[in-house]
Amino acid sequence: MQSVTQAPTDIALNHNPYPFYHRIRPLGPLVWWEDYNMPVAPSHAVVSALLRDRRFGRENPFPPVIPAHQAPFYAVEAHSMLELEPPRHTRLRGLVLRAFTSRRIKALAPEIEELSHQLIDGLPDDPFDLLAHFAQHLPVIIIARLLGVPEDKAPDLLRWSNAMVRMYVAGRTRADEDAAAQAAQDFSAYLTTYIDARRASPADDLITHLIAAEEDGERLSTQELITTCILLLNAGHEATVHSLGNGVKTALETGLRPDDPDAFTEEVLRYDPPLHMFTRYAMEDVDAFGHAFKKGEQVGLLLGAANRDPEVYADPDRFDPSRPMPAHTSFGAGLHFCVGAPLARLELSIALKALFDRCPNLKLVGTPDYATNYHFHGLTRLLVTK
């Protein structure tokens, strides 16, 4: 296996990781990324195969000792279906899907459209940051309404979410870890009170439906409910903000517009996805793609690289909403395929169309900057004029 060195905090990599992916893809099905000290998969075929390979999973078979200052964060993570394998994952996901139904998601379309137009009505005078005034608000307000949490709590939800997801980025600091632990405690304390209130007084919201969800006599415990609500907010909000920002930036740079919003959304998700690495553990000793994995060793699946694989997508660096679209990897695949994918697609499709219908003369101001987070590929701000 060939080795490469590339700092994940490098500004150039975070601004445009695709040349790096094109450089390493020909080196083999797996490439050893020295900075992460693990093999990574840069091709669509290998990423897709490993996402579905049950010999690999999200749950570390040799759980590490958790430092005391990180304990509150990992107390929440311990009940996250994203970090679990069967049978616990099967039970949790099944219960969540009973409440998070496609019918419930589709019914949100008019609300998403109305909110998009309200946010556009409130856009400030030029120039302004589209992330701060549009992209960051829409998904957090929608998930708050879906859960049944008061909308005026959205700023706290946003702050807690931002602090918690810092635990997944390259180069996190002790201050990041302390902030994530505090956010996990604050988030949990708030949701505990809110869940108790919903048990006593049910309503037509997702928290009530999660409380009521039952399968084979099993229900979600309070801690599982808390973690599930946090996961739905953190995963859904963070990725959708990045996708909206990346999508608007791409539209403004290419001059293309969402005439077919669904096709445009899929190409945005392929071309510049919000998540670029998804790691998995070998659940046993495994020989895969020329490498002998020991139980507990990790492999990094480079979703952004898979989405630009020229073996699958002709002229992959060209943004083309009309292209034939083999399945991209932005939502994962297999057991851990993103539960929130239908909601993310709906929000992106509606919001992008509304924005360009209402602001056809939208223009970039300066060069947008990406955050140096690597795993999460998103802009720090997006200055535009109307």
The CATH number linked to 279 is 1.10.630.10
**Across 137-141, average pLDDT:** 92
| Contact predicate 262/351, CB 8 Å | no
Determine the Cα–Cα distance for residues 152 and 144; give it in Å rounded to an integer. Answer: 9
The candidate with the shortest Cα–Cα distance to 268, out of 337, 336, 355, 334, is: 355
DSSP 174-204: HHHHHHHHHHHHHHHHHHHHHHHHHHHS--S
Tokens of 71: 């304990």
Residue span of the structural domain in which 304 resides: 3-385
Average pLDDT, rounded, for the chain: 93
Residue type, 80: S
- Out of 39-43, 232-236, 256-260, 360-364, least confident range: 232-236
Q: Does residue 294 carry a pLDDT above 90?
A: yes
For residue 215, pLDDT beyond 70: no
Q: What is the pLDDT of residue 251?
A: 97
DSSP SS3 for 74: helix
Which amino acid would we find at residue 246? N
Report the percentage of the chain scoring pLDDT > 70: 99
- Given a cut of 80, whether residue 263 has pLDDT beyond it is yes
Tens-digit pLDDT profile for residues 171-213: 889 999 999 999 999 999 999 988 998 989 998 888 898 888 8
**Domains of the chain: total:** 1
Residue owning tokens 């415990």: 221
Q: How far is CA 137 from the centre of its chain?
A: 16
Residue bearing tokens 């990041």? 176
Contacts 24+ apart (CB under 8 A), 121-126: 123/359, 123/386, 126/384, 126/385, 126/386
Highest mean pLDDT among 80-94, 231-245, 294-308: 294-308
Nearest-angstrom CA–CA distance, 249 and 356: 12
Over residues 358-377, mean pLDDT: 92
Residue 216 confidence (pLDDT) above 70: no
Whether the Cβ atoms of residue 337 and residue 93 lie closer than 8 Å to each other: no
Poorest-pLDDT segment among 203-212, 216-225, 289-298, 355-364: 216-225
pLDDT recorded at residue 145: 87
Do the bridges between strand 298-302 and strand 38-41 make them parallel or antiparallel, or are there none, so unpaired?
A: parallel
Whether the predicted pLDDT of 346 surpasses 70: yes
Q: With 80 as the cut, is the pLDDT of residue 236 above it?
A: no
Among the residues of the chain, which ranges form H helices?
Answer: 11-15, 18-24, 44-52, 71-77, 88-99, 102-106, 109-121, 130, 137-147, 154-165, 174-200, 206-212, 222-254, 261-271, 303-306, 341-358
pLDDT at 205: 87
Rounded Cα–Cα distance for residues 12 and 32 (Å): 20
What single string gives the DSSP state of each residue in 277-295?
EEEEEESS-EEETTEEEPT
Confidence bin at 100 (pLDDT 50/70/90): confident
| Backbone torsions φ then ψ of 323, nearest 5 degrees | -65, 150
